[in-house]
Copies of this chain bind each other. A is one copy, B any other.
Amino acid sequence: MIIIMGSEVTDAEIGTVVKKLENAGLQANISRGIERTVIGAIGDERKLTPEMFTPLPGVESAMHVTKQYKIVSRESHKQDTIIDIGGIPLGGNQIQIIAGPCSVETQEQMDLSAQFVHEAGCRLMRGGAFKPRTSPYAFQGHGAEGLDMFRKAAEKYKLPIVTELMDARQLDTFLEYDVDVIQIGTRNMQNFDLLKEVGRCNKPVILKRGMSATISEWLMAAEYIAAGGNHNIIFCERGIRTFETYYRNVLDVTAIPVLKKETHLPVIVDPSHAGGKAWMVAALSQAAVAAGADGLLVEMHPSPCDAWCDADQALTPQELKKLMGTLSAIAGAVGRTI
């Protein structure tokens, strides 16, 4: 913690800060500059918050100098973590493309989807049974019944399944259907009770970035899961909210190298929700892999025009297959495989 004192600080004001630091078990280093005096805290600053100091008289600002996340940080664990999903490694040299429809609609749609996912060469499948929808009047997903259809369809091709958990009370159902990867959606990135709950199970968790979450808040959200004992966390960049209205979100590719530097955990990208249009998906997928992503979460539907939700962002099976070819070449260019 560094505490910056205003230009007309008094000795008494400095003394109050020092005493507060000492009461918390830390020591103070005082550096008197020409225009500002800076007080550095020596000791375990995780006990402190800037707000403990900023309301004190004479204090101009206060900030942490150490990262607030621990378990998920690269500092605490140098090697890349590889997460095992039913035998499929995520986070290593091989890049994983997780494909499938936005939502589980019918058994037939899921069977076809599983077949196309498999044929395209993907090793994991996605699909939503519980759907977060902006409107209460829109299709809310088939729920448990949807998980059942999904499980059956994926079984045939031995595809581990990825699906979204929206409420802690549904977790038992997820475990019952043996969901392989639990997805926490963008709107729940800071649903702390939900994070604590998935932190207590040992399933891999895909943690999507909140629509306007900073990298630091995202890492702290992961720390909530990790602090509960579950270290199988996969970050998923899915576009952030900005002023631009041409596309739904702005895919933040810079987050990829930054997360790879800050954390040892895998980083994947959802190009479908980022752009919001199928014709943007190839370019965004290619960019993500070129920038170092460990995987992608791509929407594919056997017949996009008939999809019950987000119809304009799903690839056709043919488009997915073609994309896999290009991605494979890009993976090779950056020393990886698909």
A residues apposed to B, CB below 8 Å: 2, 4, 7, 29, 31-36, 38, 40-46, 49-52, 54-56, 65-66, 68, 75, 132-138, 140, 166-169, 187-188, 190-194, 196, 210-212, 214-217, 220, 223-224, 227, 240-247, 250-254, 256-258, 261, 274-275, 277-280, 282-284, 286-292, 304-305, 307, 309-313, 326, 329-330, 332-334
Contact = CB atoms under 8 A, between A and B. Distances in A.
Q: How many copies does the complex hold?
A: 4
A227 B191 CA distance: 23
6 contacts: A55-B311, A133-B192, A168-B168, A214-B243, A244-B252, A330-B330
A41 to B, nearest CB: 7
B166 A33 contact: no
Contact of A326 (B40, B210, B261, B334): B334
A291 to B, nearest CB: 4
Contacts of A217: 134
Given A240-B244, A283-B290, 15 more contacts: A46-B137, A55-B312, A68-B135, A134-B220, A135-B223, A187-B192, A240-B243, A242-B242, A245-B245, A253-B253, A258-B280, A287-B291, A329-B334, A330-B334, A333-B333
A254 B258 contact: no
Contact of A241 (B29, B212, B290, B304): B212
Given A136-B224, A190-B187, A38 B2 contact: yes
- Across chains A and B, which 5 residue pairs bring their CB atoms closest together, nearest first? A329-B333, A290-B290, A212-B212, A29-B31, A31-B40
B252 A49 contact: no
Nearest to A133: B192
B132 A192 contact: yes
A26 to B, nearest CB: 9
Nearest to A5: B65
Contacts of A212: 211-212, 241, 243
A34 B38 contact: no
A334 B227 contact: no
A246 B136 contact: no
Contacts of A188: 191
A5 to B, nearest CB: 9
A334 B286 contact: yes
A301 to B, nearest CB: 10
A2 B29 CA distance: 13
A227 B134 CA distance: 13
Given A31-B31, A220-B134, A257-B279, A312 B54 contact: yes
Contacts of A280: 254, 257-258
Contact of A287 (B56, B192, B290): B290
A35 to B, nearest CB: 5
A138 to B, nearest CB: 7
B36 A65 contact: yes
Contacts of A187: 190-192
A156 to B, nearest CB: 28
A287 B274 CA distance: 15
Nearest to A278: B55
A292 B137 CA distance: 31
